Structure 1
Amino acid sequence: MVIPVHDLNPVRRTPWVTYALIAANFVVFLLTPGISGSVTGGSSLAELCHLQAFTDHYALVPRELIHHSMPSLVPTGDVGVGVHGPGCVLGPPAYDKSAELSVFTAMFLHGSWLHLLGNMLFLLIFGNNIEDRMGHVRFLLFYVVCGYAAGYGFALLNADSGQPLIGASGAIAGVLGAYLVLYPRARVWVLVPFLVFLPLRLPAWIVLGFWFVLQAFYSAGQGVAQAGTVAYAAHVVGFVAGMLIALPLRPGTPPPPEPRGLLFGRRARPGW
């Protein structure tokens, strides 16, 4: 897996929406009840119960979205003692949850610092150019539509699952798909793990194409989304949605500038 760190594709305007989305994700993460254990490295049972209750309230649950089958018992956030010892208390939900709205709220929830930072890195590198091409308002709508496409796509493939789905990766996958369509020849600096992290400058079509193939390969054998797992199917659906939406914009998109310097130890040639 390669890690992108920077693209050589300047923008004409400040990507305020991209910055705002990143800021919103950080704020929600830091304000999530019980998330302090993710920051300090250890979680108490009370924190885990609060986090579980918050996640079940605002995360996308495929069974709820597709079948509108709302659970009769949910975590309340309290700690109790049962026959098996201390645990999280279950009780009737004290809220009315909108399964359709949960697709949106789930886009701003993350389970760990690694989950959050990985998503925001991709959004920061590739989101600015898509926002620059689409404009602020259209980019925001595009981001939300891709997130909904990814959420519904995953839910349809896992309609009976009661596991919560969280994260911005479905919407960000749409950004990556649009970038591949609009700027396939843009150069991207990446770190390739090979004994050490090797810096390479690669065309976006290689970086993002490889990412998509990897997600598609994993999605064929893994379709659950819960703590510690990845919803690869949501990535695939979001990526394809982003590509399709961006296709009409391709004819009028100016190509990225040709970089100067060396590429793989050889001077870069036009068209590479």
Structure 2
Amino acid sequence: MFIPLHDAVELKYIRVQWVTIGIIAINVLSWAFTSLANPETAERASLGLGFIPAVIFHYAVLDPSVVLVPADATFLTYAFLHLDFWHLASNMLFLWVFGDNVEDALGHVKYAVFYLLCAAGGALLHGLVGPAAEGPLIGASGAISGVVAAYFLLHPRVRVWVLVLFRIPLPLPAFIPLALWIVQQFVMLALDLDGMVSWGAHVGGIVCGAILVLFMRRKGVPLFDRTIVTPKAVRHQPSVPRIAAARE
């Protein structure tokens, strides 16, 4: 529906979004190690680190030769794997645009915990929607959906540059594209469409993010920030009247 490009909310409590940068770095390195290696490595990583509902809910048993971590750990490890470059790039772009301000509102440590809890919440709802599913869930979408939900509650009036329909760049108040995106996730989950996208993971992350930000944000950080921040590219500079130079 849209691709976020840039916002202009300045960091108030932290200098650098170290956790967001660290998460992006881990995801990129993980993708490079698994996807750029031979296909067997990528498949083994997906099975050994991906979230498989049938294994979690004891409908199936994973071959011991591909087990890399305890099954419960896959509630988190799945969120650091990606199918291909575009899957990785789209998720990391969302995280880069929206993650820094959520990290600023929560603080580094709480934000790291928040991110992991949103990942776990996404995996849980994905599993509850299809408890006997044997395909591994991979990708950071569940955790990032939580970040988007938190940003929506913190800065709904901020103007964000977004690429609408993948081709039209527009500066829009954040609540417009984000509200439409959030509604889309619930609608698609209700329609129960089969496909490559786990709408359950998205909705689980959204619900977790919306609830957690209420309690985990710093004291004094408001919800529904009333300050309107416009991206620099569309700010209007006051005009200065020009006076023609007198000729001698």
- TM-score, normalized by length of structure 2? 0.84
SS at match of 2:135: coil
User: Which position in structure 2 is the counterpart of 1:109?
Assistant: 81
- Pick one of 151, 157, 164 that aligns with 1:179: 151
2:31 and 2:192 map into 1 onto residues whose CA distance is 26
Distance change in 2, residues 1:180/1:223 (3 Å): same
Aligned to 1:56: 47
Q: Deviations over 1:135-165 (max 9, x none)?
A: 0000000000110011111111110110100
The equivalent residue for 2:240 is none
Q: Does the C-alpha gap of structure 1 residues 146 and 223 become closer, same or farther in structure 2, counting only changes over 3 Å?
A: farther
Aligned to 1:243: 210
- How far apart are the structure 2 equivalents of 1:48 and 1:96? 17
Higher strand share: 1
Match of 1:143 among 115, 123, 145: 115
After superposing the two structures, state which structure 1 stretch, 159-168 or 98-107, moved more: 98-107
Which letter does structure 1 place at the counterpart of 2:116? V
Secondary structure (helix, strand or coil) at the match of 1:14 reads coil
Q: CA deviation at 1:51?
A: 2.2
**AA in 2 matched with 1:220:** A
Is the counterpart of residue 192 in structure 1 residue 164 in structure 2? yes
Report % sequence identity: 37
More helix per residue: 1 or 2?
2
What is the DSSP-based 3-state SS (H/G/I as helix, E as strand, rest coil) of the residue aligned with 1:236? helix
Select 2:220's aligned residue among 252, 267, 272: 252
Total equivalences in the alignment: 229
* Aligned counterparts of 1:28 and 1:112: Cα–Cα separation in 2: 11
State the shift of 1:215 in Å.
Answer: 1.4
CA contact (8 A) 1:68 1:99 kept: no
Give the deviation of 1:262 after TM superposition. 9.6
Equivalent residue, structure 2, for 1:16: 18
Q: Which ranges of structure 1 fall in alignment gaps of 5 or more residues?
A: 38-46, 75-91, 264-272
Instruction: Check if 1:218 corresponds to 2:188.
Output: yes
TM-score (norm 1): 0.77
The worse-fitting range, judged by mean Cα deviation, of 4-13 and 108-117 is: 4-13
Which moved further from structure 2: 210-219 or 173-182? Answer: 210-219
1:11-45 CA distance string (max 9 Å, x none): 1321000000000100011011xx238xxxxxxxx
C-alpha contact (below 8 Å) 2:106/2:218 kept by paired residues: no
RMSD value over aligned CA atoms?
2.4
Report if aligned partners of 2:105, 2:218 keep a CA contact under 8 Å in 1.
no
- Partners of 1:96 and 1:69 lie apart in 2 by 16
SS in 2 for 1:210: helix
Tell me the alpha carbon deviations over residues 50-69 of structure 1, each in whole angstroms, 9 at most, x when there is no partner: 32222111110001112274
Letter in structure 2 aligned against 1:177 = A
Which segments of 5 or more consecutive residues in structure 2 lack a partner in the other structure? 235-248
